[in-house]
Amino acid sequence: MTTNFEALFSPYLALRLAAFDNMKLIAAVLTEAGERYQCIEANLLASAANEQVNRGYFVQWADRWLYCGLCNSYADPIVLMTKIELEQIDVASVTLVTVPVMSMQQVGFMCIESAHFDHC
């Protein structure tokens, strides 16, 4: 059985990191907890009003999907997706992404660096 989302990620839910950094953070936390996951890049289906195709980063963890943000975003939260939100992912566009797995010490440094950058 997988660990509870809130138990693992509550220390990080207030952070606003770049989407790829969110994916690296999630990979580090899940690796530390001994959980299996896949990092994914995929298109979000465009609505009729919005013809632009947006590409995002996601982490699939057991039967859960975590949204890391749009690929070009630099300040997104980590979000546990609902079933309705999952329907917005274009399954045909899914590609696996290899993410370097950081130690939890490196995660701490990344968060400090991000906080410093946000206040400069």
Region 69-86 average pLDDT: 91
Strand order in the sheet with 79-80: 79-80, 64-70, 54-61, 38-44, 95-96
Sign of the CA dihedral with 93 first, then 98, 103, and 109 last: negative
Contact 28, 50 (CB under 8 A): no
pTM exceeding 0.85 = no
20-61 pLDDT, tens per residue?
Answer: 999 999 999 999 999 999 999 999 987 655 567 789 999 999
* H or E element, residue 114: helix 104-118
